[in-house]
Amino acid sequence: MSVTLERSRGQLALLTLLVATTVTSCDSTPKHWGYGIEGGPEQWGSMEPAFALCSTGLSQSPIDIITAQVDDIDLEALRFAYGGTPLDIENNGHTIQVNVSSDATLSIGESRFKLAQFHFHGPSEHKIDGIHAPLEMHLVHHDDAGLLAVVGVLIEAGDANPELAKAWTHMPTEAGTSQTPAGVKIDLPGLLPGSTEGYHYQGSLTTPPCTEGVRWVVLMEPIQASPAQIDAFGAVVPPNNRPTQMLNGRTVTR
């Protein structure tokens, strides 16, 4: 794969993730994708030519991580340089997303990525040994070339999460609406578990256009949210997890 092609794919992925758009075909008929029977994941690949990888791609996400089959190797540690960010929260019709305006970064070895946004899926998109978590948070990062690194954080039922509480207090309940409450900041480190060990693999966006070339890390240690916080998300966002995809020979490392 040429550098030009890889960069263009990364830029397409970044554009898809950072800008909320309605995809239209040449006849201007809106194509609405979602998670139900109509326009659901099984149909994504045939809805638009740009979505073809959702059906034909061989490096798709999410996956079921079978821990007995994960390779243990020495990997560069993740280095999160996170601080606070003003709360800018939106309901884009597919998920609840918090847009990040601070200079929060993730380093993996020599590669450095800027945090653009984080959003949620319920139940989790990734499975561990066949089991879903109640929620999963995706921290979406990009580098200067537009290539993506996404960190998945599983969320289990337990104690209430103070940082989620700030976001949930201002969660927009209507699709296409947002909230930017004055003086409210999210402490990004409070959304991370104590350990940053994770499962690494090469995958894709989990939403159309399912662009591949995404660097995935699913953290091994979950964070907690109270049952009430988990239920509050589900009351606003119906199940929004793409089914797990075949590995097709890919290796998952730990």
- List the catalytic residues: 94
H-only helix segments in the chain: 3-18, 44-47, 53-56, 162-169, 227-236
Q: Do residues 63 and 248 touch, judged by C-beta distance below 8 A?
A: no
Pairing label, strands 89-91, 111-121: unpaired
Tokens 């201002």 map to which residue? 170
Structure token pair of residue 206: 């989990």
Q: Do residues 137 and 152 touch, judged by C-beta distance below 8 A?
A: yes
Cα 61 → chain centroid? 10
Tokens 């480190």 map to which residue? 189
Please work out, in degrees rounded to the nearest 5, the angle formed at the alpha carbon of residue 164 by the alpha carbons of 231 and 157: 45
Residue 199 neighbours by CB under 8 Å, 6+ apart? 65, 70, 217, 218, 220, 252, 253, 254
- Other CB atoms closer than 10 Å to residue 49's CB: what's the count? 10
Task: Classify 67 as helix, strand or coil.
Answer: helix
H-only helix segments in 103-210: 162-169
